[in-house]
Amino acid sequence: MAFCCLVFLLPSVARAQNDATSIEKPVAQWRFEEPGEPGVTNERRKFLEAGPRLPTYPAFTASNQSMSFAGDRPAITIREADLPQARLRFTLNDSITIEAWVKVADLSNGSYAYLIGKGRNQRPGFPEKNQNYALRLKGENDEARISFLFASEPGGGKAADWHRWTSSTGFNTAGWHHVAIVYTFGKPESIHGYIDGASVKGTWDMGGATPRAPVADADDLTLGSGNGGGAGNTFRGWLDHVTLWRSALPDDVLRNRYQFIPPPPVVKRSDLPKGDVLVQLCESGLPNRNAWPDPPPPATEQYREPCFGFFEVPHKYVDTGVRGDRPNPYLLRAAATVPIPAGRHRILLRGRGAARLYFDNKLLLTTPFPPTDSSGHGSVRTVESYLNLGPDFRFAPPGNRESWTTFESNGGESLVVLETIVGNHLGNGRRRPELGETVVAISIAGQESWRLLAPGSRVVPYTDAGWAAYESERREHSNRVNAASRAAKRNEHATYWTRRRVEADRWLATTADERVPPLPAGAPAFNPIDHFLAAKREQHRQQAAAPAGAIDFHRQVQPLLEAKCLACHAGEQAKGGLQLNSRATAIVGGKNDGPAVVPGKPAASALLARVKSTDEDVMPPKGGKLTANEIRLLEMWIQEGAHWPELNANHTTFTPLADDLTFVRRVTLDTVGVVPTPEEIRAFLSDASPEKRSKLIDRLLSDPRWADHWMGYWLDVLAENPNIINPTLNNTGPFRWWLYESFRDNKPMDLFVTELMRMRGSVRFGGPAGFGVASQNDVPMAMKGTVISSAFLGVEMKCARCHDAPAHVSTQRDLFQLAALLEAKPVTLPATSTVALGAVQEGGRKPLIRVTLKPGSNVTGKWPFTRFVAEELGSKLAEEPGDPRDVLAALITAPQNERFAQVMANRVWKRLMGRGIVEPVDDWERGRPSHPEMLRWLGREFVRGGYDLKRLTRVILTSHAYQRAADPQLKETPVLFTAPARRRLAAEQIVDSLFQAAGKPFVVEEASLDIDGVRELGSSITLGQPRRSWMLTSTSNERDRPSLSLPRTQMVTDVLQAFGWRASRQDPLTVREAEANVLQPAILQNGPVGLWVTRLSDDHGITSAALSAGSVDSLLDDVFLRTLTRRPTDAERRTYREYLQPGFADRVRPAPSKPPVKRQPEPYVSWSNHLHPEANAIMIERGERARRGDPPTERLDPDWRSRLEDVLWAVLNSSEFVFRP
Amino acid sequence: MNRREFLSASASVAASSAVSSAPPRGRADACIFLWLGGGMGQIDTFDPKAGGLNKGTPKKAGSLYDSIPTAVNGVRFCEHLARSARLADRMTAVRTVNHKVIDEHAFATNLVHTGRVTSGNVVYPSIGSVVAHERGAASADVPPYILIGYPNVSRGPGFLGSRAGYVYLTETTSGPAGFSRPADVSEQRAAERRRLLEATGTRAAPGSSVAEYESAQAEAARLAGPDFLKHFDLKTETADLRESYGGEFGQRCLLARRLVEAGVRFVEVSHNLNFLNGTGWDVHNEGINNQHLLIRELDTALAALIRDLETRKRLDRTLVVVGTEFGRPPEFDGGGGRGHQGTAFSLLLAGGGLKHRGAHGVTDDLGKTIVKDPVSLPDFHATIHASLGIDPRKELFDGPRPVPITDGGTPVAALMS
């Protein structure tokens, strides 16, 4: 228990006593006020900082200064010649008093920091043991003890020896303290130490007490370091009034030296809300090192909480409401008046940062600053090392420090103030500003249990369960608080965004709307989408009715063109100007040969001439000639008239509306990413309203899980790629949190794009600034340019990173112009981003790619997409016309830039309908829209709706097209959107649905390899406790160490990865690999996740269903509804009933009376201790435990239970489960 | 950094130049890739130099251990590689591998696995995935690529997609992820489950995506059976042989040999047993104190693997590679350990039908700079591919983009027979 010694003195008495006018003059003194003090150069005076001051330290003036010391600045060295009048050497029978005012910034346990010492400077010409005298601080038990050291002079047959005296108590390192030592050489009993005016006991703990004389030579006197320097010897903190006396100052003088008037409480009782904890965040006034601020910093923000239990503070939002960073460190102060019954109670303080707890303005408890070690060489904590204060006492979580004491209350209210420093310094860097579990808890006299200290009637047991419930409740609360502050920040920009809406409306009004075509007879329609689709089908039917030849263009010719020609002969950049991607352009031909295709005249068609050529000009130029059969095919096709139907439509019949169960499963998966719960299904089925589907759609669109479902998609498209350990391989910051909040808020997509492009806010803690990072990339903004262009404009620029590509319009210059806009300054093309064409050209043929930009070229920012919208519009529309990023964002999102709205509409369309109107959705140069009119209509609808993603989604979901039954024969969605094809769910949908359907909690490790927060924030992050699979990331165990594994996470990501999820997202991706492979069913059938969701443990959802089921049939109904959103077919029912009926009646077992488990803390493994041998063993064991899964429930007969598990296994592993209906 | 991945014209260059430029093709049909994570110090293993001092003052740069002669005249290894030294004529320490990355393990690990620097535009496949993609498995009953170690992106298939990915296990006892059934699922219970699965839902229409998934399901069920898992049962080997391989790392090597025999094309074996010295091969500071134990463990396993393959007449058809992300400098850090060095370090090739010579390439007296025959990572990759009969210049496709297998690598001519 660390009560600070507080001495109360009247200021008037105090002042005189600190003046060195009594007794005699000191040998030397450093007051750090006027220039010219010995050894204190002008250079050194740059490090003067505030010293002890009025009114807290009444011996000093209100402007008093002190000298700061740290390892990175020189100590103060005084040569004897600097003080010619003073005798700095002390010898036998001399009395010495050394005193100093000291404030510690950082003192490692075990180190001896020199305040002042003569000799032992490791200077050449002096013996190793030549310490005349020294006063040092020793770190022990996180407090500072005083230590006196000298070396005895060799002689009388004795070598020089050390003599060290150290106090057996010390001071808590917050604030200013006075320390002093008195000694008469030759008289070992004369040693006396003082801390803050109190005499302290101590022992000669090295070399023993001695009557010998000290070594006295010409070596220097040093302040702030000694023994040649180094971290262990160097003082980190501040000194003032360092005084050296050639006498033993009297006891009463030294006892009265320390004068301290505690500062008035920064919170007054009258300021405190009744029954609540007032929380203040103080963002300014903290020292630039790990030290308590002095004076107490003012609050910059405040709010209320019910209890003294903190794990996070509200996020800071900047700009339009994007996550920003608070200064690091900042101070959190929590204060309340707390009624405490009479009696002696136990009080516990926990904190991740340094913390101190005051009761009625008396310092009651402290926790220290985090240790400075950030290496991986720490130890795995032993079970015994955990504080254990009761039968259900919650053990300290990783990275927390703690202390406890007892407190005697007379009854009545105490003023309780908790302060903690959030974040801290680590060398030149910082650690993550995290609260860990900052808690004040109380155990009332006579009770064993603990609860959070609270000013009101709220009782929160401080147990594992109690804390978990409280944390989850407060997290909900802070989500609401955060949402409100985002909204408030966004609202600050409302004027501008209103103007944008007005401009968009004006543009809509002045441009022609797309006419919704009349509905052909007999076609089904719920909304305009169905009109467009039916009209297109009608048009296709008429086209198809026209006479055609024997050759099927789309089946026979198109694949040939795609394989052999279109890589070069498509788009505006086509080789030789020849575009073979439409009949019209093929007939026009290129600039070299004239018409490539002359319908009916193979001999006149250049296409044929080229593929038949035996010369060097043969086509294709590489990769194998066409076979004779292929050439014959082309010949016949041209002979027949080069019939080239616009669409490759092989499916032209609209399927009927899907049934209700199919619809509810499909729409729930498509909006919130998981299968519907039985409650959701029943509510929908029992709704008699004709509008029930629309109502369901509206409910789902307002479901918060909407945001979860979009996450995987945008993380891929925007290549969010954080690494939980050292950033490498094109890593970004974790801007996922900004993404998530954007979808929670249903942010208009033009604002979304603008925020992304501005790249402001937090880099490392989830702001869009994290998007701006690309580690180990030579031109990050060029990389971002490729992401942005494909995401929002459907322009693929990957190739342009190094050269101009044959298949794409964009040149390398275009991309670097874009990069320069994002960089807000010209960008130089590095040699690493180009291609040496010399080798390529050797073959004689012109290379397909071109390099038109030389390495070293300086490229200025310029809008490269004038084909979409004119550059001048940008600065007219931008909120900040002087910011190139803002201008760029305005150009992309301007309503006049129809491409943006259409690309967004096409993305949503593809995600819901399984096929884009344009394919590929991220590279529009490779395809043409199948329904250009509908695409334009959707784009305008999107603009009209204020770029509202939910509104756009609603239009599609409410169409007949979306709600049609799937055609089971289809492999992919047909181009006329006549029926959906069943398609496999995304990885996240599968995993999240497995857990949800089973009712099994989703439990993985915190997504971090630094859970106790010891590493510098640039080298480790935490992605928090995942609750949905999008929150996972690569376990990043490149070091191959079991101790750095996250076994459960790995087991879940194995499943995700098999189904196309990427652990690392180095490049943007819109469409994941969807092909079936053997790993997918294998990992579900046999892997640990499959086991977790099919093993009927006590916490499994089907376990309780099985216990309460009235019959096998009702149980089967329930299982099928939960998993497949339907009832079993008769055949299924027969099979399963037969399997489960035996033993059903006797399945239930009495709840076992479990022997009490010995409760003990689970040792944790983190970066900080991962090199400890035990860490590997622990994590290997944890992996095995995860692989074994939770034990099965004992409430069910084992044989019957395992049969029910088999049923569950079969249903969850059925292809039906992983396919969208 | 160089991104010549799309040298689309290189094939036509090759075609139009002399026929003799066709890359050599070796006879190996499998590869065992031993990965020494952390950075094996060449100076303390396969490229020994004059002795140094790592404790006391002053320290002296140099090897920490004595060197010994090997089966190849003039080639010496460190004293802790005594067993491998006797087999040096079956292997080549390529002593002049080099790259410019030293600061970050993951970055260098990626570089050595893919042979390329990350670009942000293409996710490159690991060498294991390229081999799996190019040659597939030698038997339909096994996957082409198995990893014994932790999954990570550097070992992954990149743009080649999951078919070229690995099946992994983290220890020899844990079984391959996805193919070893939970302990409480007996063969009989698995059969019941399959029967129930058959009875669930309706059969998919041929040609639909569902049908493809269902055929993968059947395949998965087949692979998870005893025919596949028997390869993982080391107890079927004699006790003598198992013991000759040494501890867990050796057992992994033995498993690798069994897998290769079963038709697996590429097995990566990670040597991640940092419990021996605390830090594995990343021997900063005190981590170096027990480095010799790691070296001996490698020596035992490597020598046993080569002898075993030879006994079973598979050495010429099995290329054994020892990979690591970088080497270590001759100088010592404050704690007597070593930092990182990428500018010159050793990787090892053994068997695989190559013309072995004990060592290839020469570094200076301290192993810091390359004096003769530098081997770039693309060249090293090209040598592996050539040994396995894969054309290192062949183009793979990332969507529409051609990406040659190696970044302009040429097989080391001296090793090609």
Taking each helix axis from N to C terminus, what angle separates A1047-1058 and A1173-1188, rounded to the nearest 10 degrees? 50
Q: Nearest chain A residue to B269 by CA: give it.
A: A1040
Rounded CA-CA distance A699/A705 in Å is 11
| Residues A1036, B152: C-beta atoms closer than 8 Å | yes
> How far is A1190 from chain B, CA to nearest CA, in Å?
12
Contacts 24+ apart (CB under 8 A), B219-222: B219/A1078, B219/A1081, B220/A1078, B220/A1079, B220/A1080, B220/A1081, B220/A1082, B220/A1085, B220/A1086, B220/B178, B220/B179, B221/A1081, B221/A1085, B221/B190, B221/B194
Beta bridge partners of A830: none
Q: How far is A948 from chain B (nearest CA, A)?
A: 30
Is the pLDDT at A329 greater than 60, yes or no? Answer: yes
Give me A968's structure tokens: 């089971």
Closest chain A CA to residue B211: A1215
Tell me which chain A residues have a C-beta less than 8 angstroms from the C-beta of B11: 622-623
Provide mean pLDDT across the span A40-55.
90
Q: Do B174 and A1187 touch (CB under 8 A)?
A: yes
Q: What is the pLDDT of residues A1119-1143, one digit of tens each?
A: 999 999 999 999 999 999 999 999 9
Judging contacts by C-beta atoms under 8 Å, the chain B residues touching residue A1082 are 178-179, 220, 223-224
Distance from CA of B9 to the nearest CA of A (A): 5
**Distance (Å, rounded) from C-alpha B64 to C-alpha B288?**
9
Which member of A970, A1080, A1082 has the closest CB to residue B223? Answer: A1082
Is residue A282 within 8 A of residue A300, CB to CB? The reply is yes
Sequence letter at residue A1162: E
Q: What are phi and psi of A304, to 5 degrees?
A: -115, 150
Q: Which of residues 829-858 of A touch B (CB under 8 A)?
A: 832-833, 835-836, 839-845, 847-849
Average pLDDT over residues B176-204: 91
Nearest residue of chain B to residue A1049 (CA atoms):
B151
What integer pLDDT is reported at residue A573 of this predicted model?
Answer: 67
**Cross-chain residue pair A622–B106, CB shorter than 8 Å:** no
pLDDT tens track for A1066-1121: 889 999 988 898 899 999 999 999 999 999 999 999 999 999 999 999 999 999 99
Query: Which residues make beta-bridge pairs with A49?
Result: A66
Contacts of A786 in chain B (CB under 8 A): 120-121
Q: How far is CA B83 from the centre of its chain?
A: 20
Give the largest Cα separation in chain A, rounded. Answer: 125
Boundaries of every domain in chain B:
25-180+225-415
Backbone torsions φ then ψ of A1092, nearest 5 degrees: -55, -40
CB contact under 8 A, A839 and B13: yes
DSSP A760-812: -S-TTTTSGGGGG--TT-S-HHHHHHHHHHHHHS----SGGGTSB-TT-S--H
Question: Is the backbone peptide bond immediately before A329 cis, with ω within 30 degrees of 0?
Answer: yes
Q: What is the pLDDT of residue A547?
A: 62
Over residues A791-832, the pLDDT tens digits come to 999 999 988 888 887 778 888 999 999 999 999 999 998 888
State how far residue A889 is from chain B, nearest Cα, in angstroms: 22
Residue of A nearest to B162 (CA): A1058
Contact A848 B118 (CB under 8 A): no
Element (H, E) at B86: helix B82-86
d(CA B315, CA B312): 8
Nearest to B111 by CA among B320, B360, B376: B376
Chain B CB contacts of A1216 below 8 Å: 200-201
**Two structure tokens written together for B329:** 């400098």
- Note whether B55 and B288 are within 8 A (CB): no
- Report pLDDT for B401: 76
Indicate the residue of B16, B201, B208 with minimum beta-carbon distance to A970.
Answer: B208
- Count CA within 13 A, CB hemisphere, residue A488: 9
Query: Mean pLDDT in chain A?
Result: 91
The pair of three-digit structure tokens given for residue B369, joined into one six-digit string: 């700079």
Answer yes or no: are the C-beta atoms of A247 and A95 closer than 8 Å: yes
Residue window 285-324, chain A: list those with CB within 8 Å of chain B: none
Query: How distant is the Cα of A751 from the closest Cα of chain B, in angstroms?
Result: 26
pLDDT of residue A250: 92
Residue A572: pLDDT band with limits 50, 70, 90:
low
Partner residue facing A1038 (CB), from B105, B174, B278: B105
A304-A309-A312-A315 Cα dihedral, nearest 10 degrees: 0
Provide, as residue numbers in chain B, all residues whose Cβ is less than 8 Å from the Cβ of A803.
6
In chain A, residues with a C-beta closer than 8 Å to the C-beta of B185 are 1086
Closest by alpha carbon to A885, among A825, A812, A811, A946? Answer: A825
> Inter-axis angle of helices A898-913 and A749-758, to 10 degrees?
110
Can you tell me the distance from the alpha carbon of A478 to that of A309, in angstroms, rounded to the nearest whole number? 13
State yes or no: pLDDT of A843 exceeds 50.
no
pTM for the full model?
0.83
Partner-chain contact B152 A1034, CB within 8 Å: yes
Query: In a mutagenesis test of the A interface, which of B114, B193, B208 is the best target, namely the one with the most A β-carbons within 10 Å?
Result: B208
Fill in the DSSP letter of residue B135.
H
Q: What contacts B336, CB < 8 A, 6 or more positions away?
A: B54, B55, B59, B285, B286, B288, B289
Helix/strand/coil for A112? strand
CB contact under 8 Å between A1085 and B221, yes or no, is yes
In chain B, which residue's Cα lies nearest the Cα of A836?
Answer: B4
The predicted pLDDT at position A1196 comes to 97
For residue range B16-56, what is the model confidence (pLDDT) as tens digits?
333 345 667 788 999 999 999 999 999 999 999 999 999 88
Interface of A with B in 1031-1060 (CB under 8 A): 1034-1043, 1045, 1050-1051, 1053-1054, 1057-1058, 1060
Question: Quick one: tokens of B73?
Answer: 């005249």
Question: Quick check: A1196 and A1096 in contact, CB under 8 A?
Answer: yes
Nearest to B308 by CA among B267, B268, B350, B266: B350
Q: Give the gap in angstroms from C-alpha B298 to the nearest C-alpha of chain A.
A: 16
Q: Which of B8, B171, B197 sits opposite A848 (nearest CB)?
A: B8
Report the pLDDT averaged over residues A1176-1182: 93
Q: Which of residues 658-697 of A touch B (CB under 8 A)?
A: none
Greater pLDDT, A647 or B333: B333
In terms of CATH, what superfamily is B25-180+225-415?
Alkaline Phosphatase, subunit A (3.40.720.10)
| Distance between CA atoms of residues A635 and A607, nearest Å | 10
B213 to chain A: closest CA residue: A1076
| Position A625 pLDDT exceeds 90 | no
* Spatial distance between the Cα atoms of B359 and B369, rounded to a whole number of angstroms: 16
The DSSP letter of residue A244 is: E
Name the percent of chain A lying above pLDDT 70: 96
Q: Model confidence at B1, in pLDDT bands (50, 70, 90)?
A: very low
- Nearest-CA distance B218 → chain A (Å): 9
CB A319 within 8 A of CB A761: yes
pLDDT at A839: 52
Residue B239: Cβ-neighbour burial (10 angstroms; 0-12, 13-18, 19+): exposed
Q: How many whole angstroms from its chain centre is CA A1049?
A: 16
**Would you state the pLDDT for residue A19?**
39
Beta carbon pairs, A and B, within 8 Å: 295
- Closest Cα in chain B, distance from residue A1182 (Å): 13
Reported as a single tens digit per residue, the pLDDT across A851-894 is 888 888 899 999 999 999 999 999 999 999 999 999 999 999 99
Between strands B318-323 and B30-35, the pairing is parallel
